[in-house]
Amino acid sequence: MASLWKLCRNNRTWKVKDAEDQSDIDRLYQPEKPNSTKAVRYLNAWTYSLLILIVLVLFLFGLLVGFYLRESQNKDNSESLQSARKDGFDAVTLESVHENIIYNIKGERAIRYIHEFSESVVPLPDEDWDSVVFKKVKEEFERFGFDHVDVEEHDLGELLYGHYGRYTDFLQLWSANITIQDSIVLLRQGEISPAEKVRWAVQYGAAGVLLYQEEEIDGFSKDYIPTYSAADFTATGDSMYPTVPVQPVSLETANMILSHIQTRNLPKAWGQLINVTSTDHSQQGGVKARLHIYNKRVMKKIRNVIGTLLGNVETDRYVMIGAGRTAFHGSTTDPKSSTALLLELAQSLTQVRQQEKWQPLREIKVCSWGGQELSNAGLNDYIQAHNRVIQMDAVAYLSLDVPRIGTEAIQIKTSVSLIDLVQSVADRIADPNNPDVMLSHSWPKLTLDWLSASDYPLNCNHDNCYQEPVRHLLGIPFAAATFQQSTQAPNKDMLALDLHHHFKYHLAVARVTSLVLLRLVDDAVIGFNLGYTVQFVQQTIIKMVQIAQQLMDYEYGPLLIDLDTLYIAATKFKQYTTTDDFSANRKINDVLKNFDSLFISRIPHQSVPVHSLCQSRSFETLLYFMQAVEQFRITQNSSALSDYIASLRTSIRQATESINSLER
């Protein structure tokens, strides 16, 4: 009988050998090796698991870091105005600071400055009055504690009637076969700058120019000889000065000259304006004259003083406020009062900044201009030297040039974009004639035709564009507060009355202008009303088209379509301004700031780019449009009109695109 071992042996997996054999024992041990191998594989799996765990931890850490960075970036991009400001002021605190600044402008100190300028300051033999005041302004700016005080100095035939001396006026004379070569041309002041009048006279060969001012326009007496300068603005640094004699004459002298000139062959409109009855179209001339100019040529330094308060957030944006230290002889502007108010504002700004640690959001430039009596030479020189920077960075220019005396309502000449802001500021400044009510309460309510209302206190009709070079040449919004005054020169009693009342009319002007300045530098969104601006563009161009359709046949359909597209884009603009996102506000501010400058373009027969929406006093529509129409009527050549319409369409399309860019 087989043993139990032998019976079971057949079921074993190894070879049939004696179990006691050593080799058999070895074979029995070999199956245990897989157990040892399994232990090694178990350790490797743990290592792999550990590595996977480490990778997961690193991945989660990366997610957390990325989430944190994204939130930090979003937090920075949506930074509120209060957190962006270095001074940390909220809206309520800012309002309080602004009140402190405008009411820190004291009439007593302003009057003290005026007395110093008029009595204590005695120029040395080799100095003029402007040089002495220049030194005083520079010393005061440095004492006040501006971040920067910059000083800039610059060295500065036959009798015919030529109307306003525009290109189209000389074209009228030329088309009537009137010889302009070597003639002396009598020109009315207005419509364009004296420099442009002289430039066209020289181009047509005139040997000299006489300029006179109409009495009914500005209230000058007949024997008053106005002071004009024919220095021209150039962006290239070429000579600014005329190459022919230029002499202003009184209205009395102009009438005497006109009475001797045969005014036949004048357009009827010209004859009506100069009160002549002869309209026989045969010839003009008959009187020869020799123009002697006994003016002494001197070299005069033009000095500007500019004090700067640095901005703490939008450091590349600034608002300019300025006043001239001199004025045209006989001008209604009082440079002593203007300079005194500018110094008062400068002292108030720096004093409040030092005491309350206020820091403006944007930069402020306080400018004292020299050479105002020489066609605003100081301001024009500054524009010429810095025109690209001003156009890129300047938000607005505010003028503190005020009249000598006045007791009537405050008026503000302003760009349309600033009307809403000025109106809100007038709600916070007391009326100098009735301190119990705010200034705006004395103004009539806005009507539907407010844009064309010449008697409304907020006047946006820019008929004398050359008097506003910052707006007219660079497209920078402009505002100048003033007050109505008597056309007669103020007597001592009126002046004493005003001084007795602590300079209240001048102070009202200064406070309105200063609060507009503060709102422009501290509001998160620049206080320009794009809706008003587009409404102005629309109404002005539609009125232009209506006038043009009565004068000539021309296709204005594409222009009106572009205008409608701009209006639709402007209606959507308000939805973009309801955000506290600081970076979004920056984009909105760029659109607002650059809107006016989009209408600076090359106009036919203009030496430099100018504002295409400049208005004409004579025709109550766009100046350069009417010049193009008149040229067409004389020459039957519509190229100038086509070029002008094309420039308008380009500006309108660019404005529309800038608004629509906020959607992206």
And the tokens for 220?
Answer: 């000058």
Domains with residue ranges and CATH for the chain: 1-59 (no CATH), 159-273 (3.50.30.30), 305-522 (3.40.630.10), 530-663 (1.20.930.40)
Q: pLDDT digits over 30-46, tens only?
A: 555 555 444 445 456 77
And the tokens for 29?
Answer: 């041990």
Mean pLDDT (whole number) for 345-359: 93
**Does position 14 have pLDDT exceeding 50, yes or no?**
no
pLDDT at 657: 94
And the tokens for 569?
Answer: 């884009």
**Residue for token pair 């005396």:** 405
Q: Which band of pLDDT confidence, cut at 50, 70 and 90, is reported for residue 279?
A: very low
Task: Confirm if 417 and 530 have CB atoms less than 8 A apart.
Answer: yes
pLDDT at 404: 59
Residue of 192, 485, 226, 469 lying closest to 331 (CA atoms): 226
Helix axes 639-660, 557-573, angle to 10 degrees: 20
pLDDT at 4: 45
- Higher local confidence (pLDDT), 134 or 235: 134
Task: Confirm if 255 and 274 have CB atoms less than 8 A apart.
Answer: no
Among 121-125, 130-134, 643-647, the least confident range: 121-125
Q: Provide the total of helices (H) and of strands (E) in the chain, helices listed first.
A: 23, 18
Residue type, 290: R
Q: pLDDT digits over 170-209, tens only?
A: 888 887 777 788 788 888 887 777 888 888 888 888 888 8
Q: pLDDT digits over 590-638, tens only?
A: 999 999 999 998 887 777 788 888 877 665 678 888 888 888 888 888 8
3-state secondary structure of 217: helix
And the tokens for 380?
Answer: 């024009």
And the tokens for 249?
Answer: 């004459």
Residue 567 CA to residue 180 CA, distance in Å, equals 46
Task: Confirm if 318 and 395 have CB atoms less than 8 A apart.
Answer: yes
Residue 242 CA to residue 229 CA, distance in Å, equals 9
The most distant pair of C-alpha atoms in the chain lies apart, rounded to whole Å, by 167
